[in-house]
Structure 1
Amino acid sequence: MGPVQTRLMEQNPLPEAISGRLRDQLAFIIEIDKLKTVLRQSPLAAAARRENDAEHSWHLGLMVVLLAEYANEPIDIGHTVQLVIVHDLIEIYAGDTPLHMADDGQQERERAAADELFAILPADQGAAIRALWDEFEARETAEARFAKAMDRFQPILLNWMAKGGTWEAHGASVDKVLGRTAAIEDGAAVLGQAREQICAESVRRGWLAPEPADP
């Protein structure tokens, strides 16, 4: 990550009478409005443009509510919604890294972004939100595994609706897509099977490249 980010509230500071804890909370709420400007690679199903991170996070939240019955293990739906709402906030500073593009510096950049962004909040809330982000990244709880499954499954649906979408744009083959989305199986085996069916049909229709031939 580059130098410390200029915060949005600095452009038009709140009245001085608003101070302390509330001021820090509102500063964070204003700052995360930047999430609406972070474009992802995935195309929208409903319009000819790419989705942004805020739209993605909202979509995942509803997916958690609607698809929780397919989780491999019982999950706390409310906690899982918190995970998916928080998981991409760091991209405000770190930027989006497309799934099909390797980036050796991604983890370091995202940790630095988390350190800076969550420090805007009062210490107790900053630690709590950071803990949610860390939990999502670690995938050591049932909720985090299901949250990650939603994060990997949603772009498959969007690329299907776009008749290839980013798969074609990045020249992805079916083996690469299945490999990069294997985390779906860890959180929701039923959705993992649906992913395989969608990918197989996409190959048949010419929207996703078949596995490369053996040399």
Structure 2
Amino acid sequence: MKECFDFLLEIDQLKKVIRRTYISDGSRHENTAEHSWHVAMMAMPLWERYEHKEEVDLFKSIKMLLLHDIVEIDAGDTYAFDEEGYKDKIQREKLAADRLYGLLPKGIKDDYRKTWEEYEEAQSPEATFAHIIDHIQPLMLNIATSGVSWKEHGIRSQQVLKRNEWIQELSPSIYRQIQAWVDTGKDNGWLKP
């Protein structure tokens, strides 16, 4: 039991990992714990309208969404458009996964690590759905904050569309929303053309 509590106390550190995305009122950046909670919540109603919901075990996707960013305690958050940060992201996150999931008892450790790896591989229906949710949450918050994070980083509309183009085939309805957000961002000057 002590190992479980050690892990649970350690993951409280996720509240200190600051992301580039702002919370919806634009008053401050969100932290990764808030992000994890938000994407897990988003998965529930969006699963109800997801074109492939019958293929997705919702609980498993939510589990992935809650577990996948725990590695940021050690590895830090890598901004979606940070090409330099992506060069060693996999290595940093694997080391973090070794340490953080390693705090748990063997059976739980193996399950959580396997769940994290499945998310990272993005091949299963659950991982694919979880990735969709993880990708659209910052877009939604950028729209809510008049694109403040996009403007701070000089993001172009084509960068956002390219990063999310794979969603079009899996969920045309979600992709239409992405396109609408990008159009709003362009029309308002929040995204560069």
For this structure pair, what is the TM-score category when the shorter chain's length is used for normalisation? over 0.9
CA deviation profile, 1:57-107 (whole Å, cap 9, x unmatched): 111111111110232322111111101000100001000000011120111
Aligned length: 189
Distance of aligned partners of 1:154 and 1:186 in 2 relative to their CA distance in 1, 3 Å threshold: farther
Distance 1:159 1:115, change over 3 A: same
Structure-2 change in CA distance of 1:187 and 1:57 (3 Å): farther
1:67 and 2:52 correspond: no
SS state at 2:21 partner: strand
**C-alpha distance after superposition, 1:27-56 (max 9, x if no partner):** 000000001111110001135000011100
Query: What residue number does 1:26 align with?
Result: 5
Report the alpha carbon displacement of residue 112 of structure 1 after superposing the two structures with TM.
Answer: 0.9
**Partner residue of 2:67?**
86
Q: Deviations over 1:169-205 (max 9, x none)?
A: 1111000111122343365331111001110121011
Instruction: Quote the residue 2:146 is aligned against.
Output: 163
Separation in structure 1 between the aligned mates of residue 173 and residue 136 of structure 2, nearest angstrom: 11
Question: Which amino acid in 2 is paired with 1:61?
Answer: A
**What code does the residue aligned with 2:18 have?**
L
Worse-superposed segment, 31-40 or 183-192 = 183-192
Q: Gaps spanning 5+ residues in structure 2: where?
A: none
Structure 2 equivalent of residue 206 of structure 1 = 189
Amino acid of the residue matched to residue 56 of structure 1? H
Partner of 1:51: 30
TM-score normalized by structure 1?
0.84
> Which residue type is aligned with residue 45 of structure 2?
L
Judge conservation of contact 1:146–1:184 (CA < 8 Å) in 2.
no
1:13 is matched with which residue?
none
Distance 1:82 1:30, change over 3 A: same
For 1:119-174, what per-residue CA distance to the aligned partner results, in whole angstroms no more than 9, with x for missing partners? 10001100100011111111111111010000000000100111112111111100
Alignment equivalent of 2:19, drawn from 30, 40, 65: 40
1:109 maps to: 92
Q: Secondary structure at the match of 1:109?
A: helix
Which has the greater radius of gyration? 1
Asked whether the 8 Å contact 1:119–1:126 carries over to 2, the reply is: yes
Hey, what's the Cα distance between the residues in 2 that align with 1:202 and 1:47?
Answer: 16
Give 1:138's match in structure 2, choosing from 121, 131, 134: 121
Which deviates more from structure 2 when the two are superposed, residues 39-48 or residues 53-62? Answer: 39-48
Q: What TM-score comes out, normalization by structure 2 length?
A: 0.94
Instruction: Decide which structure has greater helix share.
Output: 2
CA RMSD of aligned residues (A): 1.2
Question: Is 1:124 matched up with 2:131?
Answer: no
Residue 146 of structure 1 contacts residue 188 of structure 1 at CA under 8 Å; is this kept in 2?
no
